[in-house]
Amino acid sequence: MKQLISIIMLAIAGQSFAQHRSADVKEINSILSNYSRCVIEKDSVAFYNLFNNGTVTWCAAVKNASHVKEKEELGVEKAGSNYFERSYQGFMRALYRYQHSEDKFDNIHIVEDGTVAAVTMDYSFWANHKMTNWGSKYLTLIKRDGQWKITSVIYSLELTKYFAQPTLEERRKLRRETANN
């Protein structure tokens, strides 16, 4: 009888843990949806609220193939470094130069333990209804005072004027191949 009660208690505890983790994943997905919505609507107040107080890392690197093309087109001096860092506030301010902007995400993978999370995804950035760049985006989050907040945004950037974004299936296949090596 004691074994049966122990098994039932473990099952209940496991179910409770799974429900909690499921709620966290839903909350993180909601942050991603809100992020996208804020970019479209240029809602800086809601966008800023997605981020942790204090230092938040925001940086990117232009992929090698696009950077080589940029250096060929602009020259080494004008092309500059392939790396840049900004802030989420600067990103939001930059959106105002476009009539329409959108950051689209797919191939999303969330790993979380109820306190910290890492999100990997593919993205494409659209300005005035035209894709300008695409790549991989990595977000880290922390659950602070019961709310998930973004602590870093790091991404690669491929310029569409040189290279089209592969299909979702091609990107998934490449990710599987990379994971297996």
- pLDDT tens per residue across span 100-110: 999 999 999 99
Helix, strand and coil in the chain, % to nearest 5: 45, 35, 20
Write out the residue range of the structural domain in which residue 98 sits: 2-180
Predicted TM-score (pTM) of this structure: 0.84
Q: Residue 148: which CATH number?
A: 3.10.450.50
* Predicted confidence band of residue 4 (pLDDT cuts 50, 70, 90): very low
Cα dihedral 66, 70, 72, 74, rounded to 10, equals 180
Contacts of 27 (CB under 8 A, 6+ apart): 148
- pLDDT tens per residue across span 24-46: 999 999 999 999 999 999 999 99
What CA–CA distance (Å, rounded) separates 98 from 126? 10
* Predicted confidence band of residue 174 (pLDDT cuts 50, 70, 90): confident
Domain count, the chain: 1
